[in-house]
Chains A and B, each alone.
Chain A
Amino acid sequence: MRTSRREFLQASGALAVCFAMPACAQQAVSATGGRAILGNRLLINASGTIELLLGKVEFGQGIGTAIAQIAAEELDVNFDRIQLVTVDTNRSPDEFYTFSSISIQQSGPPTRRAAAAARQFLLQRAAEQLNVTADTLTVLDGEIYAAGKPTKLSYWHLIGAENIDIDISADQAVKAVDEYSIVGESYQRIDIPGKVFGAVSYLQDLRLPEMVHARVVRPPAERAQIESMDASAVERLPGVLKVIRDGDFLAVVAEREGQARDAARALRASVAWQLAGDMPDERAIYDWLKTADSRAEPVASKSPDSNQRKTTATVTASYQRPYQAHASMSPSAAIAQFDGKQMTVWSHAQGMYPLRTGIAHVLNLEVENVRCMHHEAAGCYGHNGADDAACDAAAIAMHYPGKPVRLQWERADEMTWEPYGAAMHIEVEADVDEAGDVAAWRYDLWSCPHSSRPRNPEAAGNMIYARLRADPLPLPPVHSIPQPNGGADRNGVPLYAFEAMEVTKHLVTDVPIRVSALRGLGAYANVFAIESFMDELALRADVDPMDYRLRQLEDERAIALLERLAETTGWYRRPTGNIGDGWGLGFARFKNRSSYMGIVMRVAVDPASGAIKLRQAHAICDAGLVINPDGVKAQIEGGIIQSSSWTLKEQIRFSTESKQSIDWASYPILRFDEIPDVEVALMQRDDQPSLGVGETAQGPTAAAIANAVFAATGQRLRRLPLVPRPA
Chain B
Amino acid sequence: MKFRLNGKEVSVDVEPQTPLLEVLRNDVALNGPKFGCGLAQCGACAVLLDGVSVRACVLPMQSIAGKDITTLEGLGSATQPHALQAAFIAEQALQCGYCASGVITTAAAFLEQNPAPTDDEIKQALSRHLCRCGAQPRMVRAVARAAKQLAGAGS
Chain A residues close to B by CB (< 8 Å): 59-62, 188-189, 191-193, 195-202, 204-205, 207, 256-258, 327-331, 376-379, 381, 408, 410-411, 630, 634-635, 637-642, 645, 663-665, 669, 671-673, 675, 677-678
- Report whether B97 and A672 are in contact in the complex, using a CB–CB cutoff of 8 Å: no
For residue A378, which residues in chain B have a CB less than 8 angstroms away from its CB?
Answer: 36, 96, 98-99, 132
For residue A328, which residues in chain B have a CB less than 8 angstroms away from its CB?
Answer: 98, 132
Decide yes or no whether B153 CB sits under 8 A from chain A. Answer: no
| From A61, A205, A256, A678, contact of B95 by CB (8 A) | A61
- Report whether A410 and B38 are in contact in the complex, using a CB–CB cutoff of 8 Å: yes
18 interchain pairs, CB-CB under 8 A = A60-B94, A192-B97, A193-B89, A197-B72, A197-B73, A197-B76, A201-B31, A202-B98, A327-B132, A330-B44, A378-B98, A411-B37, A411-B38, A638-B95, A664-B130, A669-B132, A672-B122, A675-B137
Complex Cα distance, B136 from A677, in Å, reads 10
Known: A411-B38, A638-B134, A675-B136. A258 touches B19 (CB 8 A): yes
A interface footprint on B18-30 (CB within 8 Å = 1, 0 otherwise): 1100100110011
How far apart are B101's CB and chain A's nearest CB, in angstroms? Answer: 7
Known: A330-B36, A672-B127. A195 touches B22 (CB 8 A): no
- 7 tightest CB-CB pairs across the interface, nearest first? A641-B134, A60-B96, A638-B134, A378-B98, A60-B95, A195-B97, A379-B96
Chain B residues close to A by CB (< 8 Å): 15, 18-19, 22, 25-26, 29-32, 34-39, 41-42, 44, 71-73, 76-78, 81, 85, 88-89, 92, 94-101, 104, 120, 122-124, 126-140
- Report whether B38 and A200 are in contact in the complex, using a CB–CB cutoff of 8 Å: no
Complex Cα distance, B26 from A183, in Å, reads 41
Task: Name B41's closest neighbour in chain A (CB-CB).
Answer: A664
For residue A331, which residues in chain B have a CB less than 8 angstroms away from its CB?
Answer: 35-37
Known: A329-B36, A642-B134. A379 touches B85 (CB 8 A): no
For residue B30, which residues in chain A have a CB less than 8 angstroms away from its CB?
Answer: 198
Complex Cα distance, B89 from A680, in Å, reads 20
| From B19, B35, B99, B134, contact of A640 by CB (8 A) | B134
Sample of 8 more A-B contacts, CB < 8 Å, known A198-B31, A330-B98, A675-B137? A191-B97, A195-B94, A257-B26, A329-B96, A378-B36, A410-B38, A634-B138, A669-B132
| From B35, B44, B92, contact of A188 by CB (8 A) | B92
Known: A192-B88, A198-B72. A675 touches B123 (CB 8 A): yes
- Report whether A60 and B133 are in contact in the complex, using a CB–CB cutoff of 8 Å: yes
For residue A641, which residues in chain B have a CB less than 8 angstroms away from its CB?
Answer: 133-137
Complex Cα distance, B96 from A207, in Å, reads 20
Most chain B Cβ neighbours within 10 Å, of A331, A381, A639, A672: A672
| From A329, A410, A640, A663, contact of B132 by CB (8 A) | A329
For residue B88, which residues in chain A have a CB less than 8 angstroms away from its CB?
Answer: 192, 196
- Report whether B35 and A664 are in contact in the complex, using a CB–CB cutoff of 8 Å: no
| From B15, B32, B38, B136, contact of A198 by CB (8 A) | B32
Complex Cα distance, B103 from A672, in Å, reads 11
Complex Cα distance, B15 from A91, in Å, reads 43
For residue B130, which residues in chain A have a CB less than 8 angstroms away from its CB?
Answer: 329, 664, 669, 671
- Report whether A672 and B126 are in contact in the complex, using a CB–CB cutoff of 8 Å: yes
Known: A196-B94, A329-B99, A642-B132. A673 touches B137 (CB 8 A): no
- Report whether B127 and A671 are in contact in the complex, using a CB–CB cutoff of 8 Å: yes
- Report whether A411 and B39 are in contact in the complex, using a CB–CB cutoff of 8 Å: yes
- Report whether A199 and B31 are in contact in the complex, using a CB–CB cutoff of 8 Å: yes
- Report whether B98 and A377 are in contact in the complex, using a CB–CB cutoff of 8 Å: yes
Complex Cα distance, B135 from A641, in Å, reads 8
Known: A199-B31, A641-B134. A256 touches B26 (CB 8 A): yes
Task: Name A415's closest neighbour in chain B (CB-CB).
Answer: B37
For residue A197, which residues in chain B have a CB less than 8 angstroms away from its CB?
Answer: 72-73, 76-78, 81, 85
How far apart are A203's CB and chain B's nearest CB, in angstroms? Answer: 11
How far apart are B96's CB and chain A's nearest CB, in angstroms? Answer: 3
| From B35, B85, B131, contact of A196 by CB (8 A) | B85
- Report whether A193 and B138 are in contact in the complex, using a CB–CB cutoff of 8 Å: no
Task: Name B39's closest neighbour in chain A (CB-CB).
Answer: A663
- Report whether B72 and A196 are in contact in the complex, using a CB–CB cutoff of 8 Å: yes
| From A411, A630, A642, contact of B92 by CB (8 A) | A630
- Report whether A189 and B99 are in contact in the complex, using a CB–CB cutoff of 8 Å: no
For residue B31, which residues in chain A have a CB less than 8 angstroms away from its CB?
Answer: 198-202, 205
Complex Cα distance, B103 from A115, in Å, reads 39
How far apart are A19's CB and chain B's nearest CB, in angstroms? Answer: 27
How far apart are A118's CB and chain B's nearest CB, in angstroms? Answer: 29
Complex Cα distance, B36 from A329, in Å, reads 6
Task: Name B18's closest neighbour in chain A (CB-CB).
Answer: A258
- Report whether A677 and B137 are in contact in the complex, using a CB–CB cutoff of 8 Å: yes
Complex Cα distance, B137 from A638, in Å, reads 9
For residue A330, which residues in chain B have a CB less than 8 angstroms away from its CB?
Answer: 34-36, 44, 98
How far apart are A388's CB and chain B's nearest CB, in angstroms? Answer: 18
- Report whether B34 and A204 are in contact in the complex, using a CB–CB cutoff of 8 Å: yes
For residue B127, which residues in chain A have a CB less than 8 angstroms away from its CB?
Answer: 671-673
How far apart are A96's CB and chain B's nearest CB, in angstroms? Answer: 21
For residue B22, which residues in chain A have a CB less than 8 angstroms away from its CB?
Answer: 256-258
How far apart are A360's CB and chain B's nearest CB, in angstroms? Answer: 29
Complex Cα distance, B100 from A193, in Å, reads 11
- Report whether B136 and A672 are in contact in the complex, using a CB–CB cutoff of 8 Å: yes
For residue A673, which residues in chain B have a CB less than 8 angstroms away from its CB?
Answer: 120, 123-124, 127
For residue B76, which residues in chain A have a CB less than 8 angstroms away from its CB?
Answer: 197
- Report whether B36 and A411 are in contact in the complex, using a CB–CB cutoff of 8 Å: yes
For residue A381, which residues in chain B have a CB less than 8 angstroms away from its CB?
Answer: 132
For residue A665, which residues in chain B have a CB less than 8 angstroms away from its CB?
Answer: 39, 41
- Report whether A663 and B95 are in contact in the complex, using a CB–CB cutoff of 8 Å: no
How far apart are B36's CB and chain A's nearest CB, in angstroms? Answer: 5
Complex Cα distance, B85 from A192, in Å, reads 10
| From B18, B97, B120, B133, contact of A638 by CB (8 A) | B133
- Report whether B19 and A376 are in contact in the complex, using a CB–CB cutoff of 8 Å: no
For residue B122, which residues in chain A have a CB less than 8 angstroms away from its CB?
Answer: 672
- Report whether B41 and A663 are in contact in the complex, using a CB–CB cutoff of 8 Å: yes
How far apart are B141's CB and chain A's nearest CB, in angstroms? Answer: 11
Task: Name A187's closest neighbour in chain B (CB-CB).
Answer: B92
Most chain A Cβ neighbours within 10 Å, of B30, B104, B134: B134
Complex Cα distance, B34 from A202, in Å, reads 10
How far apart are A701's CB and chain B's nearest CB, in angstroms? Answer: 10
Complex Cα distance, B39 from A669, in Å, reads 16
For residue B95, which residues in chain A have a CB less than 8 angstroms away from its CB?
Answer: 60-62, 379, 634-635, 638
| From B39, B94, B99, B120, contact of A192 by CB (8 A) | B94
For residue A638, which residues in chain B have a CB less than 8 angstroms away from its CB?
Answer: 95, 133-135
Known: A60-B95, A207-B29, A671-B130. A637 touches B35 (CB 8 A): no
For residue B42, which residues in chain A have a CB less than 8 angstroms away from its CB?
Answer: 329, 664
Known: A196-B94, A328-B132, A669-B130. A204 touches B78 (CB 8 A): no
Task: Name A676's closest neighbour in chain B (CB-CB).
Answer: B137
Complex Cα distance, B98 from A640, in Å, reads 19
| From A192, A204, A639, A664, contact of B134 by CB (8 A) | A639
How far apart are A374's CB and chain B's nearest CB, in angstroms? Answer: 14
How far apart are A642's CB and chain B's nearest CB, in angstroms? Answer: 5
How far apart are B53's CB and chain A's nearest CB, in angstroms? Answer: 14
Complex Cα distance, B44 from A197, in Å, reads 15
How far apart are B37's CB and chain A's nearest CB, in angstroms? Answer: 4
For residue A410, which residues in chain B have a CB less than 8 angstroms away from its CB?
Answer: 38
